[in-house]
Structure 1
């Protein structure tokens, strides 16, 4: 079976198996990420600077010492239903979520062919914290499927992506326990409270809790929520900044901080529409 056939198998399987999750009463405290560039490594393939802010659910800068409470943003419901699975969702939800891990990671040794027709190939690794029951191979295949999606960033005709298991990479995706996420993000001045994700320089740090459970405010399959996280963060790596809702009833841009509210838009995980139109809105300063 070829890599394309493998990805299509996962996609078709999700159309049959993935249902819409019932919304619960729990409210996940999310905050806007400020992506901070941290020295170390050389950006490859012409990456723009890493000074972009935000992701789907993200950390905020650590506040100065104060007795004042840190504010929380409003939450955002809804999701469109485009597939991006690699593992059985019900099984994934049963993965234990330890509060802390050792802070060391296993790199998925899976390697794929470039996906997309763009001349610029962005190489990336997928790493899972040691001691948790999430398969790094399954995570890598799922992220590869997201980045190969017809509505993903390859639709711009300029960028391609390649999963690598060794050698140099343009960015890494780390999936980690809440405590480890707090430590990595906190070292860069970001506050994640054990709940949300962040980006530090060239590294996307995904909270295991969000990867397994999704968000109670995201009314759709957990695989769709994962796609929003990956698409938003990789969008920053491509030089895309934050935008807001483009109009009442329109799909929310992937580069919109949807966790802060939809402002009349409909939740959406993908950068491009089915007809190839880039989904955007007014820039956020």
Structure 2
């Protein structure tokens, strides 16, 4: 070998060494990349398994809760429909007392309900015997003279209105603030406010009979209340403009099956 060939061999060896180094570097890099890929895949698989486990447990809890809710709903429906609980205790009743309250509306609204025609009526969960008949008597609501008598067969003179009209009630003189007492046991059917009679309390006393008390104030009772005879229904108020010349009074009307009757015929001091 001559001097010119030695440098060439050295260059070849250097080139081969460089190539080998490059290949080794690529191999090493590939090895690390593959290892990282496997680690990543392993981590992802572990996460997926953990999520699947959590979803499964959540599904079990949801199913259990749903079953419990359905059981509770079933128990409630059974209790509501039968009126008893599972242990046999009464939880409610779908039946009502044989009587009806015959009342509706609210105080001061000017509305009234319809009344039943039976003698026994119920209110506030209790039954009260209200059985007014033709032979029963009523008490006078206030001590005072009769200003205008009941008159449905002929007209009478209304001083304030300056005209003759039929009068379905008895107009009784009273002082402002006097107590107005209930004439017979009954249930408050309505409490109305009208321009003519002011605050008016309607008491159902049974068998189609009703007593109406007008020109009141400070009414302590409410619709649906059971009231005894002599119970305070209110107090004499200032008269409305329809009775301004007659002065303070109590408008006292009695009805049978919705038609006015003379309350004087049912007072206790009649012959």
Give me the TM-score of the superposition, normalised by structure 2.
0.22
Higher helix share goes to which structure?
2
Higher strand share goes to which structure?
2
Give me the TM-score of the superposition, normalised by structure 1.
0.21
* Greater gyration radius: 2
